[in-house]
A and B are shown apart, each in its own frame.
Chain A
Amino acid sequence: MHLIAPLERSEKLAIAGQSKNFPYKNSNTLTAKTGVSHLSLFLIAALPFLGAVFPALLIRAGRNAAASAAGLTTFLALAGLLIHIPSVMRGDVVTARFDWIPLLGLNANFMLDGLGFLFALLILGIGLLIILYARFYLSREDPMGQFYTYLLLFQGAMVGIVLSDNILLLLIFWELTSLSSFLLIGYWKHLPEGRQGARMALAVTGSGGLAMIAGMLILGNIVGSYDLSVILQNKELIQASPYYLPALILILLGCFTKSAQFPFHFWLPHAMAAPTPVSAYLHSATMVKAGLFLMARMWPVLAGTDAWFYIVATTGLVTMLMGAVIALFKDDLKALLAFSTVSHLGLITMLLGFGTKFAAVAAVFHIINHATFKAALFMTAGIVDHETGTRDVKRLGGLRHLMPITFTIGTIAALSMAGLPPLNGFLSKEMMLEETVHTTWLHSHYLVPGLALLAALFSAAYSFRFVSHVFLGPKRDDYPAHPHDPPVGLWLAPAFLIVLVVLIGLYSAAIVGPLVAVVSSAVIGGEKLPYYSLKLWHGFTPALYMSVVATLGGLFLLSQHRRAESLWNALPRPEAKVIFEAVIAAMTALSRRITDSLHNGVISRYAMILIVFTVGLGYYAYATGTIGPVTREPLKLEIIPVVGWICLVAATLAIMWFHRNRLLSLVLIGVVGLIVSMAFNYLSAPDLALTQISVEVVTMILLLLSLNFLPTDTPWDSSAARRWRDAAISVGAGIGTGALVYALMLRDFAFPAISEFHLANSYKGGGGTNVVNVILVDFRGFDTFGEIIVLGIAALIIFALTESVLATNVRAYLLNRKPHWPQSGDSHPLMMVVVTRMMMPIALMVGAYIFFRGHNQPGGGFIAGLIVAIAFLMQYMASGYTWAIERQRFYYHGTIGWGVLIAAATGIGAWFNERPFLTSDFGYIHWPPLEEFEWATAILFDTGVFLAVLGAVMLALDSLSRFAWQPGMAQEFPMDINPLRDDPPEEEQEKEQV
């Protein structure tokens, strides 16, 4: 499968190629249609992320400051959303486009239609209430700044999901909700349940998210665009595709895990270890609805098939029934609410699964209603927990007199959940029951309505239980704390929701009628809405009878609760957490077994597998591909190259043969390097020759120094058979590589090369005649910039490694070590000291010369840096490490740093001339006594390269030298033997001491 490029590739490349001439052209264009109002979509999505910084910072100014910052952010985003009410209610779709990575089809496109508006309203509106509630709920010990930061991150991710008009963007936000909810669920880090619940939620929703990525990519591939607005127009294309079913299943896996549908429902109750504001927000109103949102969003193109009906409606029905039954027998208030949430999510899923327009309207309506009463219920549970110190239903009861406000709020919300008139839960439940009556499942007319009725009955029962076992009954005297109504801050938010519950129930058509209409029409893809009426009394319909049965049955079930409970406890039930942990443990064990068998620590085997595989791939390409005719004349053979070739091959084969003698093989590899650099020079690459030969010098010094500490010989430790096997593998690889490059060299380029461009523009555009250098500092300056950074990092790694190794007992070993070879009697020979010191200025001058000619003649910053480094190294070698560092004025770290900074500053300088990063400029200066000379900003950049290379080489070798340091190496005098010095011979000194 390949990714789609919505823009024509060639066109894009042409723009990229011209960017040198048109530096002002930025491919990221903001194409919002009419300015501010469209931009606000970006703002709505971005505000929570931006605002997330403030609570974490403002917590130092107090908890009120942190809460206010979070609240203000949310309020601003909410206000930004609300200004779109007129256009959304007209049925318009507000869009804002921003091409982010157009070649991947990844655009930061946002759109706001009815569906997105409803969810954004829930997320931001309930978010605001939760922020208020959490301010009073969290205790003084809880890090509140962190809480609000996580909450806003989550909020931003949720808003991003519901406003995205690009499915790739949506996926990014989707994963962000998994991550941020992980932080929120595990907020009480000290509780093991919190950590386990967070891990479980992340594992389940995260793996569902991965499945969904695959599904979305398939979907995008079917349609040829990742833009939702395009996908939603292509129902026939998608449903006719053979990939429809895999895409559907993968996307539904993501939705079901997120929305806690059977069999993935088990994470939701465990996530209740989170603080109650989190449960109220994530697990009733927002995150678990993300799956529903996506099903609703995709409804126009995915729904309507048998596969959709049987997968979605069945899953929803099973989940609804199972959640309702389990909820009745949960004693933990939050667990009861969690399973009731699972049940209601199943209800909405089932409605979406029916695939009819009326069911879609009912689903939308129930999403609104459920969000209001369930968030209020969670907050009530939190208040009860807060005030009584327990959430165990068995220890509660009789709170009606002690907490009248909480009782009122909780009771109204619970009765709405039970589906009693005149509350809003009644309305949408009626619509649901009505719809089930018209649904057949595998030719059965009674299955769906029957099971739905049963679920409604249990739903009524657990709702009544919530009221009666917590609030009703006699007052008790064994509450863990002294319950009383909480401060207004805690009950204000649920009270507000309760007002909504009642008002929507009484005046539904007036209050939410238009909203339901506009959202439903967005869900069903802009087609004509079916007939429905949002009112309490529809006459004597089947749904009404079913409601009556459910309510009465619920009351009866509650009265028999004790008996039912003992029956329930006697039944064997699978414990989800145990199963989940067993599965995780099995998977860990399996992957460990695979990893251990593949990665057994034998690195030479990894290398062998890699090489054999690569050679095999090459052979496969050779055997199956075609090779074009020879189009180039080979160059004439001369005698000198043949001599060089003989030396190189002989040296290389000798290394293979004598590699156990390490010093000898090092000498031989020096021969190879020398001939390679001569070959570069012979084959018209003077810059390469200069670089290779100077790198050769520093590499040899490095290897010699290291050999000082390593064993001098390599022992035999592989069998003859293994050596022959390795020889066969390497000969195969060598023949393959040689043949490949031979074939390459005798053929012309298959496509026109871009080198002509560089040759043509080097002088005109870059101001230099040495094209290689101009490419390095100008055309590909950004690459070079990256490379000097890499080099600097390598040197710093070496330094850090040295520091850490020398801090261990290795230092003692080094100090007591006996050298391999007898040390020279005259470690700093007079001749060498004198010569190197005299050569120092000359060597530096050569370095400067090579540096300045670089732009026009072979040379430049890289080579000059190496040459100057060698000049310094000569001093180290001749006069000793201690002598050299005593005279060192700058730390090499600083040299690297300045190099990178100068290069960066040169690049940034281009910005001030409104050019892209690293655009170079040049001109010619004529000072009368001198010849006219050129001044290019590239030389500043090259200075950076020079310094970085110099610093990196020196830091690497300097670090290595520190291994050899011994006490007493520092000399009193600059030379071992100084003719001017009047010190007595050693024998005399000894005599004096005696």
Chain B
Amino acid sequence: MEALVASAVGVMTTAGIFLILRRRTFPVILGLSLITYAVNVFLFATGRLALNAPAVLNKYEDVPYTDPLPQALVLTAIVISFGMTAVIVMISLSAYLSARNDHIDMNAQDNTDAAGDDA
């Protein structure tokens, strides 16, 4: 089970980083979303994995509980990451609409086709 989670984190990180190294806004946004998943699962996994042991107290019998603290942290991280995604989406959208160009690099020399394409 741990191997599955770890390899999933690895694959999501790989794809996310590959995408944030692209030069257009949209792939970078997707890449950040993927990295967000990977980071959230990573943080969650620092509480170690457990099956059928939610951190909801049972008044009647003594049962094991998983670590609640990373969960609380990840919960707010998920909501905050929505806010972050929304802000960068708006920034990239505004930039595209103002400049008709969705390059993320400010220096046009480094781009193979500097002309904006409104495809």
| A641 interface hit (Cβ, 8 Å) | yes
In the complex, per-residue mask of B47-77: 1 if CB is within 8 Å of any chain A CB, else 0? 1111111111111000001111101101110
Residue of chain B at shortest CB distance from A716: B112
Do B9 and A738 touch (CB < 8 A)? Answer: yes
CB contacts (< 8 Å) of B20 on chain A: these are 604, 607
Pick from B22, B87, B111: contact of A794, CB under 8 Å: B87
Tally the A-B contacts, defined by beta carbons under 8 Å: 330
CA distance A563 to B89 in the complex (A): 76
Look across to chain A and name the residue whose beta carbon is closest to the beta carbon of B33. Answer: A669
- Knowing A641-B1, A655-B19, A729-B21 are in contact, say whether A683-B14 is a contact too (CB < 8 A): no
**In the complex, are the beta carbons of A683 and B50 less than 8 A apart?**
yes
With most chain B CB atoms within 10 A of its CB, the pick from A719, A759, A802 is A759
- For chain B residues 1-20, which have a beta carbon within 8 Å of chain A? 1-20
- Name the contact of A744 in the complex, choosing from B13, B21, B45 (C-beta under 8 A): B45
Q: Is A686 an interface residue (CB 8 A)?
A: yes
Interchain CB contact (< 8 A) of A683 among B51, B56, B58: B51
The listed residue (B15, B23, B57, B93) touching A652 by CB distance below 8 A is B15
What's the nearest-Cβ distance from chain B to residue A698, in Å?
6
A488 close to chain B: CB less than 8 A: no
Q: Answer whether A676 and B106 are a contact pair too, CB < 8 Å, given A636-B1, A653-B11, A685-B54.
A: no
Contact A698 B82 (CB under 8 A): yes
In whole angstroms, what is the CA distance A635 to B53 when docked?
13
Shortest distance from the beta carbon of A387 to any chain B beta carbon, whole Å: 59
Taken together as a complex, chains A and B put the C-alpha atoms of A739 and B3 apart, in Å, by 9
Those of A688-711 within 8 Å (CB) of chain B = 688, 691-692, 695, 698-699, 702-703, 706-707, 709-711
Closest B residue to A634 using CB positions: B2
Chain A residues in 8 Å Cβ range of B16: 730
**Closest chain B residue to A608 by CB distance?**
B21
- A649 with B91: CB separation less than 8 A: no
Min CB distance A676 to B, Å, is: 5
Which of A102-110, A207-215, A400-408, A948-956 is the interface stretch? A948-956
Q: Are B119 and A604 in touch, CB under 8 angstroms?
A: no
Q: A652-B12, A680-B44, A737-B13 are in contact. Are A717 and B112 (CB under 8 A)?
A: yes
Does A648 sit at the interface, judged by CB under 8 A?
yes
Which residue from A600, A673, A717 sits with its C-beta under 8 Å from B111? A717
Near B by CB (< 8 A), chain A positions 968-987 give none
Quick check: B13 and A738 within 8 Å, CB to CB?
yes
Inter-chain contact B55/A662, CB cutoff 8 Å: no
Which residues A198-252 have CB closer than 8 A to chain B? none
Interface membership of A770, Cβ < 8 A: yes
Judge if A735 is at the interface, Cβ distance under 8 Å.
yes
CB atoms of B113 and A717 under 8 A apart: yes
Q: Are B65 and A688 in contact (CB under 8 A)?
A: no
The answer to whether A775 touches B68, judged by C-beta atoms less than 8 angstroms apart, is yes
Interface of chain A residues 22 through 72 with chain B (CB within 8 A): none
Any B CB within 8 A of the CB of A584: no
Q: How far is the CB of A295 from chain B (nearest CB, A)?
A: 49
Shortest distance from the beta carbon of A54 to any chain B beta carbon, whole Å: 42
Q: Output the nearest chain B residue to A632 by Cβ-Cβ distance.
A: B48
Alpha-carbon distance A709/B107, docked complex (angstroms) = 24
Q: With A645-B8, A735-B10, A742-B2 known to touch, is A730 a contact of B15 (CB < 8 Å)?
A: yes
Once the chains bind, are B90 and A734 in contact (CB under 8 Å)? no
Which residue from chain A places its CB closest to the CB of B74 in the assembled complex?
A: A688
One digit per residue, 1 when the CB lies within 8 angstroms of any chain B CB and 0 when it does not, for chain A 635-647 equals 1111001100100
User: Is A824 interfacial (CB 8 A cutoff)?
Assistant: no
**In the complex, what residue of chain B is closest to A743 when comparing beta carbons?**
B6
CB of A37 to closest CB in B, whole Å: 49
CB distance B71 to A709 under 8 Å? no
Which chain A residues numbered 716 to 750 have a C-beta less than 8 Å away from chain B? 717-719, 726-727, 729-731, 733-735, 737-739, 741-742, 744-746, 748
Q: Do A734 and B6 have beta carbons less than 8 Å apart?
A: no
Let me know if A780 is at the binding interface, CB within 8 A.
yes
Chain A nearest CB from B83 CB (Å) reads: 4
Q: Are A686 and B5 in contact (CB under 8 A)?
A: no
Binds B, one of A142-150, A333-341, A807-815: A807-815
Q: Which of A730, A741, A814 contacts B18 (CB 8 A)?
A: A730
Q: Is the CB of A742 within 8 A of B3?
A: yes
- Which residues of A sit under 8 angstroms from B89, Cβ to Cβ? 702-703, 706, 960
A1 within 8 A of B: no
Q: How far is A805 from B110 in the complex, measured between Cα atoms in Å?
A: 27
Residues 336-366 of A at the B interface (beta carbon under 8 Å): none
Contact B21 A726 (CB under 8 A): yes
Q: A685-B66, A790-B80 are known contacts. Are A770 and B56 too (CB-CB below 8 A)?
A: yes
- With the chains together, A673 CA to B86 CA distance in Å? 16
A19 sits at the interface (CB 8 A): no
A509 to chain B, nearest CB (A): 71
Is there an interface contact between A649 and B8, defined as CB atoms closer than 8 Å?
yes
Do residues A715 and B119 form an inter-chain contact, with CB atoms below 8 A? yes
The minimal Cβ–Cβ distance linking A506 to chain B, given in whole angstroms, is 73
- In the assembled complex, the CB of B42 is this many whole angstroms from the nearest CB of chain A, namely 5
> How far apart are the CA atoms of A648 and B13 in the complex, in Å?
12
Q: Are the CB atoms of A676 and B41 closer together than 8 Å?
A: yes
How far apart are the CA atoms of A737 and B14 in the complex, in Å? Answer: 9
A596 to chain B, nearest CB (A): 10
Given contacts A602-B106, A734-B10, contact A714 B24 (CB under 8 A): yes
**Chain B contacts for A498, CB-based, 8 A:** none
With a CB–CB cut-off of 8 A, which chain A residues contact B97?
A: 709, 805, 810, 813-814, 963
The residues in B between 71 and 119 inclusive whose CB is less than 8 angstroms from any CB of A are 71-72, 74-76, 78-87, 89-94, 96-98, 102, 104-107, 110-113, 117-119
As a 0/1 sequence over residues 360 to 380 of chain A, the CB contacts with chain B under 8 angstroms (1 = contact) are 000000000000000000000
- CB <8 Å contact, A684 and B52: yes
Interfacial chain B residues near A672, Cβ < 8 Å: 12, 34, 37
Chain A residues 585-637 with CB under 8 Å of chain B are: 600-605, 607-608, 611, 632, 634-637
**Contact of A604 with B105 in the complex, beta carbons under 8 Å:** yes
Q: Is there an interface contact between A712 and B1, defined as CB atoms closer than 8 Å?
A: no
Which of B24, B45, B67, B105 is the one whose CB lies under 8 Å from A753? B67
The listed residue (A659, A748, A754, A791) touching B69 by CB distance below 8 A is A754
Residues of B within 8 A of A963 (CB): 93, 97
Do residues A699 and B3 form an inter-chain contact, with CB atoms below 8 A? Answer: no
Contacts of B67 in A (CB 8 A): 753, 755
Cα distance A737–B35 when bound, in Å?
Answer: 11
A749 to B84, CA, bound (A): 31
A544 touches B (CB below 8 Å)? no
What separation, in Å, do the CA atoms of A697 and B14 have in the docked complex? 24
Query: Known contacts A776-B72, A794-B86; is A744 also within 8 Å of B54 by CB?
Result: no
Q: A684-B52, A763-B57, A769-B57 are in contact. Are A600 and B107 (CB under 8 A)?
A: yes
What are 20 A-B interface contacts by the 8 Å CB criterion? Answer: A603-B104, A604-B105, A605-B105, A635-B1, A648-B8, A648-B11, A679-B41, A699-B85, A706-B93, A709-B96, A710-B92, A737-B10, A738-B13, A741-B5, A742-B3, A744-B45, A758-B69, A759-B57, A762-B68, A794-B84
Q: Which residues of A contact B (CB under 8 A)?
A: 600-605, 607-608, 611, 632, 634-638, 641-642, 645, 648-649, 652-653, 655-656, 659, 662, 665-666, 669, 672-673, 676, 679-680, 682-688, 691-692, 695, 698-699, 702-703, 706-707, 709-715, 717-719, 726-727, 729-731, 733-735, 737-739, 741-742, 744-746, 748, 753-755, 758-759, 762-763, 769-772, 775-776, 780, 783-784, 787, 790-791, 794-795, 797-798, 801-802, 805, 808, 810, 813-814, 856-858, 862, 866, 949, 952-953, 956-957, 959-960, 963
Query: B residues touching A (Cβ–Cβ < 8 Å)?
Result: 1-27, 29-30, 33-34, 37-38, 40-42, 44-59, 65-69, 71-72, 74-76, 78-87, 89-94, 96-98, 102, 104-107, 110-113, 117-119
Q: A659-B30, A688-B74 are in contact. List 7 more A-B contacts (CB 8 A).
A: A604-B23, A605-B105, A645-B7, A688-B44, A695-B79, A715-B119, A742-B7
3 closest residue pairs by CB, A with B: A738-B10, A734-B14, A601-B106
